[in-house]
Each structure stands twice: as structure tokens, then as C-alpha cells.
Structure 1
Amino acid sequence: MFPFIPLSPTLNVPTYYLVLSLTVCIGLIWITFRADKFELSRKVTLDLSLIIMVSGFIGGRLFHVFYENFEHYQEDFTRIFYFWNGGFVFYGGAILAGLCSLLYMIFVARVPFEDYLDLFAPVLSFAYMLGRVACLLAGCCYGGACDLPWAVNGLHPTQAYASLWELGVLFILLGSETTAHSLRPKLLKNPGSIFFLWMVLHGIGRLLMEAFRDDFRGPSLGLSISSWISLTVIALGLFLMIRRPTSRS
């Protein structure tokens, strides 16, 4: 759609990586302010930010390489490192980043991880929203055939659907955490519940987006692998919200 910003006849800036770079910068500034606001450790917050960025990058790349297009990389394994050509999967990055972050909080930082889950929830939602904008500009991740007025090149702009949905999720998360603790629904009074709410809402949005995608990635029982992961994320988020005991106020 608009994959490059021309700076000169021989120099172009990829819009995908430009948007992602700006997202990282804004996210780091925002998460630092949030750590101060909620009186949480800046060191732990920035350590977690670095872990999420690095492990998310690796996980997203590995999921693409070994699940989506292994035959292509098997011909020449050095292609794995040609990340500037694209090829990342959000859920792959999210799974590895989540595991690495939990291990760090439990075994290294030794902090109540639920507080940090809530700290990062709206920032992650914001980052995902802009990430899908990056996909739209780069011209990747489109959906199936579409004859509606907003179709792009005859295809569903599923990146725009996902971005708009996530914008709504972001407002819900920010509204939920600013609501007085005593006025929140019971499910949102426990530490970690804002993050678990994000899991549920994000999973629902991803399911809706997948319904419009022409997804080749392992359809099983009529659903893509991303849809199955989304269902798991929704179920896990609901379970974690429901099972946790009444929180400290």
C-alpha cells in the first residue's frame, strides 16, 4: 500500500520498520512513566521491556520460519537472518516473550508478576494496534476477496479491522484501570485482571479478524492455527480472571 518512504532516488525508508521503531520508542517512554505512576521498579520494567522486545522478535521470526515457510528456509538456512524481508508471527513472539518474562519475574527479579502484567497491558495493546498499521502500510496480512467500498485491491483490509478493534480494547483497558477500585466489576479487582481482560478482548478481536483472512497456516476443523491460539488465549484469560481470590485493595 505504502511500503517505502522515498528520501532520494536511491534511498527508501521501509514504512513497516519505521512505524515499529516509533512504536518501540513511544512504548518505552510510556511504560517508564507508568512504572513511576504505579510505584513499580523502573529497573524491572525496563528489563522486562528488553526481554519482550528481544524474545518477541526471535519468537515471531522462528514461528514464521519453522511453521509457515520451512521449505523456503530449508533451501538456504542463512535466509533466516534476512529479517528485513519480513516474516514474523505475532503469536509466536507473544508466546516466547510471555514465557521469558514470567521466568525473569519469578526466578530473577522475584516480584509479584501480576502487578507488572497490568502495567504492560495497555502498552502491549497500543503496540499491537500500531503494528497492524505497519502491516497495512507495508501491504502484508490482507484478508480474502472483498467487494465492499473499503476494500483495498479487492481484499479485506484485515490489518485495519484489527487496529480499530485494538484501539477500542486500549480505551477499555485504560478506562478499567482508572475506575475506582471499589467501582470495578468483581472480576477486575484482582491484580493481573487488566492483563487478563486484554487477553480475552484481544483473542476475540483476532478471531474476528481471522474470519476475514485467507489464512493458509494449518487450517484444522475449519479454523486456522491463529484461531485456535486465540480460543486458547480467551479461555485462559477468562480462567485466570475467575479463579483468582479477592485481591488486596
Structure 2
Amino acid sequence: MFPTIQLTSEIQIPTYYLVISIVAAICLFWVVRRSHQFKLSPTRALDLGLLIMVFGFIGGRLFHVFYENFTYYQEDFMRILYFWDGGFVFYGGALLAGFAGISYLFFKAHDEIENYIDLFAPVLALSYGLGRVACFLAGCCYGRSCDLPWAVNGRHPAQLYAVFWELGVLMILLGLEKSRAEMKFFKVPGRIFYFWMVLHGLGRLIMESFRDDFRGPTIGFSISSWISWGIIILGLLLLWKKPVESKV
């Protein structure tokens, strides 16, 4: 792995945070570009993107602290602030960011919630996919031992499985957007995002089946697997229940 970039004998840059920072900048730029394409407020889209990033950071950190390793942080709660030492859970960040984002849209753009979440669907796919590159470089979220030709340090590159899956999802979503005018089902606002929920959840289940790192207590499955099942079911319900005729 390649966890740090050594600038001098005393200064080094964590590749995890470098990659995440670059991905965040790319996604914010893309959000603004897409807001023009969707004829939505660029300011509101940018505010929503920043809100998602802030609450995603907080939620990811807190989920790790209180679910995965609370005993360690209980010894010294100041350690919670030492985020540079690592310790984030994607779904913790996603759940809190999702709640904050929907709450923001409910008050600021109640009639356009589905349009905004469709705008963000490919962006979320890109950010998650490239974000897993950061995990690969940092050496976290590693897979089980194997002797396959593409093994990395004798393990499944579970992070890269997630990268390839989510970038494939990104291509599917962009393809659906491009042909949306001819596809009555996906003309309905919100359905691109709900479809992303289903595909993302499936991809995460695949990744979870290969992982071998500690992710907190399990109840048959890891907590991430349970959340993935919940996201898949919710996405299917939203796809199924939303009438085709509404808000076309």
C-alpha cells in the first residue's frame, strides 16, 4: 500500500486525505455543472453538496467512535478529534448526511427534492467509487486472504472491487440519464437516485463478502451488510410505489 507521501524527513501527506480532498473538489465542481444541466439553483446545489460533506464527515467519525471502538475513545475522549489517525464508517456518514440533505431540501426546495437527488446520484457514485481508491492506498477495508493472480499482498483487493463496481454504476446512471426521454419509467424524478440505492447496496454486499478487517460487532452479517439490505429494500419500494404519471 501507499499510505503516505513523504515530502521531507519531517513532513508527510496521508494519501487517504489527499485523495478524498481531490475527489471532494471534483464532485463539487461537477455538482455545479450538473445544476445548470438540470436547470436547478447552482447555489442551492453547492450548499447541499457542502452540507453532505460536513455531515458525512461527522457521521462517519461518530459511527466509528461509538460503534466500532468506543472502549478506546472512552479512555480519552479527546481522541475523537484525532481524525488524522483514521477511523470513519461510510454508512455512518451517509445516513447522517442523507438526513441533513433531505431536511435541507424539505425546507428550501420541497417541490424539487426528487430533481435534486437525481442530480446527485451519479456524483455520489463517483465520490464513493474514487473514495475507495483512498481506502486501497491507506490499506484499510482490506479483503480476505487469497492466492488469485490479482491479489494484493496475498489478499482480495476488496476496495478495488468496490471501485470498479461503483464506476460501472456511474456509467449505467449516466446512460439512463442520456436515454431518459425514451424511457418512461426513468422519466419520473427520483427514480435515477432510487435505482442508484439498489445498485449501490448490491455492490456493497459484494464488497462486504470479501472483507476481512474489523468492523465492529456483527449479528449474522456486518452492520454495513444489514444497512445495505435496508437500502436495497427501500430503493425497490420507492421505485415500485412512485406512480409513473407523477411530476413527469
Superposition TM-score, scaled by structure 1 size: 0.95
Residue of structure 1 equivalent to 2:127? 127
Q: Where does the alignment leave 5 or more consecutive residues of structure 1 unmatched?
A: none
**1:110 positional shift:** 3.4
In the alignment, is the contact (CA less than 8 A) between 1:215 and 1:224 conserved in 2?
A: no
**1:67 positional shift:** 0.2
**1:46 positional shift:** 1.1
Once the two structures are aligned, what percentage of the paired residues are identical?
61
Residue of structure 1 equivalent to 2:209? 211
Q: How does 1:139-218 map to 2 (within 5 A)?
A: 139-181=139-181, 183-184=182-183, 186=185, 188-216=186-214, 217-218=216-217
Residue of structure 1 equivalent to 2:17? 17
| Matched residue type, 1:154 | G
Distance 1:141 1:19 in 2: 16
**1:218 positional shift:** 2.4
| Matched residue type, 2:219 | S
| Matched residue type, 2:113 | F
Q: How does 1:73-88 map to 2 (within 5 A)?
A: 73-88=73-88
**Most deviating of 42-51 and 64-73:** 42-51
Q: Matched residue of 1:27: which SS?
A: helix
**1:47 positional shift:** 1.2
In the alignment, is the contact (CA less than 8 A) between 2:141 and 2:212 conserved in 1?
A: no
**Most deviating of 46-55 and 145-154:** 145-154
Is 1:225 the equivalent of 2:223?
yes
Q: How does 1:35-74 map to 2 (within 5 A)?
A: 35-74=35-74
Q: Matched residue of 1:49: which SS?
A: helix
| Matched residue type, 1:230 | S
**1:214 positional shift:** 1.9
1:237 is matched with which residue: 231, 235, 238?
Answer: 235
Distance 1:124 1:90 in 2: 12
Displacement over 6 Å in runs of 4+: none
In the alignment, is the contact (CA less than 8 A) between 1:56 and 1:93 conserved in 2?
A: yes
Superposition TM-score, scaled by structure 2 size: 0.96
Across the aligned residues of Structure 1 and Structure 2, the Cα RMSD in angstroms comes to 1.2
**1:180 positional shift:** 3.7
Distance 2:8 2:219 in 1: 47
**1:195 positional shift:** 0.6
Cα distance change on mapping 1:122 and 1:57 into 2, 3 Å: same
**1:151 positional shift:** 1.4
**Most deviating of 111-120 and 87-96:** 111-120
In the alignment, is the contact (CA less than 8 A) between 1:2 and 1:139 conserved in 2?
A: yes
Cα distance change on mapping 1:70 and 1:53 into 2, 3 Å: same
In the alignment, is the contact (CA less than 8 A) between 2:141 and 2:213 conserved in 1?
A: no
Distance 2:98 2:111 in 1: 15
**1:109 positional shift:** 4.0
**1:10 positional shift:** 2.0
Is 1:115 the equivalent of 2:119?
no
